[in-house]
Structure 1
Amino acid sequence: MEKTLEYAFQLDTEDSLKSYRDQFHLPLRTNGKPYIYLCGNSLGLQPKKTAEYVQQELKDWKNLGVEGHFHAQNPWLPYHEFLTEKMAKIVGAKPLEVVVMNTLSVNLHLLMATFYRPTKDRFKILIESDAFPSDRYAVESQLKFHGYGNGLLELKPRKGEVLLREEDIEATIKKEGESIALILIGCPNYYTGQVFDMKRIAALGHAKGCTVGFDLAHGAGNLPLELHDSNIDFAAWCTYKYLNSGPGSVGGCFIHERHAHAFDLPRFAGWWGHNKETRFGMRDDFDPIPGAEGWQLSNPPILSLAAIRASLDVFDEVGMPGLVEKSRKLTGYLEKLLEDMKDSVKIITPRDVRKRGCQLSLQITKWGGKDIFKTITDKGVIADWREPDVIRIAPAPLYNNYSDVFKFVTILKEAING
């Protein structure tokens, strides 16, 4: 492989998805040139068609008022249903198992209201020791709410290591499983980018009587997920990272088909989860919709759903297999370019492409990692710093190209070598 910009341009020319870059707004510097944007794992870029989708709903609101619920070009009453099938394809689920609603942490709490059912002997929640802070806060607050302040159980890397070993996860579940009520893991881990074998963890957890859920904030739109076949009980994700739906946009949920008609499961209920045929009867007892829709609370924010719909249409056109293929090529290219920087840059993300998405987490070992991050930012790179010592680089396949990756590595080398 040639480590030249000309070779990167050649790879861009051969890229079958190269035209999709033009379908996104690239942030521009003051000199009018685009930033090297490698931060899709934090906030995805805006598809150009988003404005059209949102403007349509603003137009219908302006012209129809409340009648837009029934007579808008895309009626608001069933609007969330327009997203279901395409979202289900992205995460490898059946439409019955998926709903777009609320935001990530809200959904995790709602799902734990159902699937975290502690008892005197089985009350622990198993998470990664370096879980995303919001997940930790949610889990700790659930434990305290139920009166089990000491119920947090953590999966920790071995001394001197960063990644979790699969055999250690298995050993922990086998040893502690009878005391674990819920396993809740982020996939991939936000800090290291490590992907976990969800199907294997579900099988291990279920064998011990545990409920198993995943936070897929960094997985949805990034990994080749097969949620139905994984047999996990539930999952939740945001849509503003790889799914490009805009800051703070509505999230998504998966609840496995086997729970679709389990109406005796406890849940926090709201009228949008009630039987659609009698929802406006107003005085009926709660009659949940089968499947994931039955966990909805309120009518959703249409403007946010419109932005999600714009992005999902792009994903549906490309398909996850094509995106994953390019993602692996881009990240592999980045990895190769960093090979001669081993003395100053350590990649802590797994090298096995099946155990990572499009994020590589870089530890700058030479000196002053945060100073290096500031330098590359000043030179036009938008990346992501995570305390205490990692720069996260995520070449998103829809709008990043090989030239972005090459230019980033060049700037990084210059920053490190002074």
Structure 2
Amino acid sequence: MTWIDLRDDGWGLDNLPYGVFSTDGPDRRVGVAVGGHVLDLAAAARDLWPAMAGTFAEGTLDRFMARGRAVWDETRERVTGWLTDAAHERAVRPHLVDRDAVRLHLPFTVADYVDFYASEHHAANLGRMFRPGQEPLTPNWRHLPIGYHGRAGTVVVSGTPVVRPCGQRRTPDGDIVFGPSTRLDIEAELGFVVGAPSEPGTPVPVEDFADHVFGACLVNDWSARDIQSWEYVPLGPFLGKSFATSVSPWVVPLAALERARVEPPVRDPRPLPYLDDAGMEGWGLDIRLEVRLNGHAVSRPPFAGMYWTAAQQLAHMTVNGASLRTGDLFASGTISGPRPDERGSLIELSWAGESPIELPDGSKRTFLEDGDEVVITATAPGSGGGAVSFGEVRGVIVAPRAG
């Protein structure tokens, strides 16, 4: 029970995601989304939890995330109490802001950005396109979570326009040209945000995942496929990926996803010991995404079938001694399911341009055109029987700038 009017729309007490917002002025502060409101945590804490007021007034989640799991859990417990105990209504209600009236910002300082390649269906689809007649997966794919280091400085919050990138590409005739990407794509992903850092030289085992990862958000890892295909051999993605990565403004805490936990797929061969999660509760997650292109749903990727979990990705990312920093963001890679309408990228949905996507207005797409808008949303089951919403990550493609 709560004294706030709530709808069953994913923004109830099961969720309580964290973000950073402002209203009329420039001041940014930490907030929690609940129903149609944002609870100003800095203001509420001044009255009810003075020791934490400064942490929530900093304008990013950085300091709060760095405090670690015990503080995250205590904060969630206190906020839930404030919103359910009628004795707190008089103190809390003045600090509720209409969610439609706030401006949302990038919620944390991105320290490092890593993107993985964890969907077997996505990896196999791309293998069939580009290596026909060969084994779709590379020999190492089922042995380790493959990933690449991205550019933290171009991670942007939902709603930021995405400028079409320029770069080198090879034409079908074999000419090397420079210009705007003609095969601009999306990648529907889930991102995980590190809160508690780790010591250099000390790997983080899979069982310590929840002690370091603060929460999850939506990610669209925009991709210029023509630039990527020309540059990626032998060192992997670079300019085809580094121009923009969009994230949703609300970070859903891991504690809100307990009900969503499911067993991941069976791994064959069995992973090496540092990646082996057999015998422990896995970190597969029953999260369902939806991808809309110009308002039309084109895909509904299921996250539950991802081959490698975020816990395994974190273990692999640190097994060589690489340390974690507060604000590290690592993403799942494109989420794709077994059905054609569950593919999380346009290159799969159009099968590399061979089968254009038809939109309700009669237009067709293989890749993105200037003016196109992509919106990715997601929901998961909540512990109280309701839904947990991730909100949305939105982006509009704009023409390249003259340089």
Q: Which has the larger radius of gyration?
A: 1
TM normalised by structure 2 equals 0.24
Task: Give the structure with the higher percent helix.
Answer: 1
TM normalised by structure 1 equals 0.24
Task: Give the structure with the higher percent strand.
Answer: 2
